[in-house]
């Protein structure tokens, strides 16, 4: 019996060393050596070396001169009371979703509120049906993309804020649409951070 247990123990320790140390550390070494950009998080860095974010991680945009991303349901600990949380959109240290079901009154109220707010700010935008991604929250809370329809709906507001005609901004959006991979996988989408970076280059704020 003792032999069985001690043998199992020795073999288990080796397995832990193999699967828990050797394997992840080897993958880390190879990944960092061969593919450092991806291995370190696909970070977007400006000319001065400041990290502006990640290509893959969404961010919260508030001002009218930028394209906005989807709503995000991520939260953060309440600074006044550690047992509660407060809304903190695009918190990349705590991913999450709303988890509201389709018959949830809270969900319906939230979307209705968002629709009304948009209607007040830009009445022409709500003449037709709104793209679903504009009002719904993603599963991760960190979705870096919006649908092309969402982007086009924001062109007028962005162009007005930057003092340019909408046509140029529209053309920019069109250029930045990521199509389906190999024409089959996924859906067409626009990466908000990269769109805003290109926007700032081509149509800088005066």
Partner 1 sequence: MTLTGWAEIALTLALVGLFAWPLGQHIAAVFSSRRTLLTPMVGPLERGLYRLSGVESDEEQDWFSYTLSMIIFTAGCFLALYAIQRLQGVLPFNPGGQDAVPPDLAFNTAISFITNANWQAYAGETTMSHFTQMVGLTTNNFLDTAVAMALAIGLTRAFVRQDCATIGNFWIDLTRSILYVLLPLSILVALLFVFLGVPQTLRGSIEATTLEGARQTIALGPVASQEAIKLLGTNGGGFFNANSAHPYENPSALSNVLESWSQLVLPVAMVFAFGRMVGERRQGYSLLAVMTVILLASVLTLYHAEAIGNPLLTDIGVDPVGGNLEGKDLRFGQAGAAMFAVATTGTGTGAANATFDSMTPVGGLVALLNLLMGCIAPGGAGTGLYSMLVLAILAVFIGGLMVGRTPEYLGKKIEAREMKFVMLSVLLGPALVLVFSAVSVSLKVAVDSLGNAGPHGFSEIVYAYASTAADNGSSFGGLAANTPWFNATTGVVMLLGRLAGVIPIMALAGSLAAKKKLGRSEGTFPTDGTLFVFLLLGVALIVTLLQFFPVIALGPMAEHFLMGSGRTF
For residue 69, the minimal CB distance to partner 1 (Å) is 10
Provide the greatest CA pair distance for the chain.
82
Distance, CA of 126 to CA of 128 (rounded, Å): 5
Q: Are 187 and 205 in contact (CB under 8 A)?
A: no
CA distance 137 to 119: 19
What is the rounded distance in angstroms from the CA atom of residue 174 to the CA atom of residue 190?
9
Q: Of 74, 68, 41, whose CA–CA distance to 192 is shortest?
A: 68
Among 86, 121, 132, 171, indicate the residue that binds partner 1 (CB under 8 A): 132
- Mapped onto helix, strand or coil, the DSSP state of residue 23 is helix
Q: Which is nearer to partner 1, 83 or 167 (CB)?
A: 83
Q: Give the residue with the Cβ less far from partner 1, 30 or 167.
A: 30
- Binding residues for partner 1, how many (CB under 8 A)? 102
> With respect to partner 1, which residue has the nearer C-beta, 133 or 155?
133
Calpha distance 143→157 (Å, rounded):
22
User: Nearest distance from residue 99's CB to partner 1, in Å?
Assistant: 3
Rounded to 5 degrees, φ, ψ at 107 are: -65, -45
Q: How many CB atoms lie within 10 A of CB 50?
A: 8
Residue 187 neighbours by CB under 8 Å, 6+ apart: 147, 180
CB of 183 vs partner 1, minimal distance in Å: 7
Q: What is the enclosing helix (H) or strand (E) of 193?
A: helix 192-202
Q: Whose Cβ is closer to partner 1: residue 136's or residue 156's? A: 136
User: Could you tell me the smallest distance in angstroms from the CB atom of residue 206 to partner 1?
Assistant: 16
Q: Which of 64, 85, 135, 177 binds partner 1 (CB under 8 A)?
A: 135
Of residues 171-200, those binding partner 1 (CB under 8 A): 180-181, 183-187, 189, 196-197, 200
Based on CB atoms, which residue is closest to partner 1, 38 or 165? 38
* Positions in 63-122 near partner 1 (CB under 8 A): 63, 66, 70, 90-105, 107-108, 111-112, 115
CB of 148 to partner 1, least distance (A): 10
Residue window 147-166: x/- pattern of binding to partner 1, with contact defined by CB under 8 A: x-x-----------------
Binding residue for partner 1, selected from 49, 50, 120, 206, defined by CB under 8 A: 50
């Amino acid at each position: 019996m003792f032999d069985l247990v001690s043998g199992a123990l020795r073999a288990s320790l080796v397995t832990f060393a193999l699967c828990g140390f050797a394997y992840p550390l080897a993958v880390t070494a190879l990944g960092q050596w061969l593919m450092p950009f991806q291995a370190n998080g696909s970070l977007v860095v400006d000319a001065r070396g400041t990290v502006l974010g990640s290509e893959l991680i969404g961010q919260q945009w508030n001002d009218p001169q930028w394209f906005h991303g989807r709503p995000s349901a991520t939260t953060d600990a309440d600074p006044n009371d550690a047992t509660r949380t407060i809304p903190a959109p695009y918190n990349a240290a705590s991913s999450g979703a709303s988890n509201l079901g389709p018959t949830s009154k809270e969900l319906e109220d939230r979307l209705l509120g968002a629709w009304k707010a948009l209607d007040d700010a830009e009445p022409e935008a709500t003449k037709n049906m709104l793209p679903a991604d504009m009002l719904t929250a993603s599963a991760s809370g960190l979705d870096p993309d919006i649908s092309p329809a969402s982007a086009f709906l924001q062109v007028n507001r962005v162009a007005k804020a930057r003092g340019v005609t909408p046509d140029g901004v529209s053309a920019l959006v069109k250029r930045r649409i990521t199509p389906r991979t190999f024409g089959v996988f996924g859906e067409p989408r626009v990466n908000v951070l990269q769109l805003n970076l290109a926007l700032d280059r081509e149509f800088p704020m005066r």
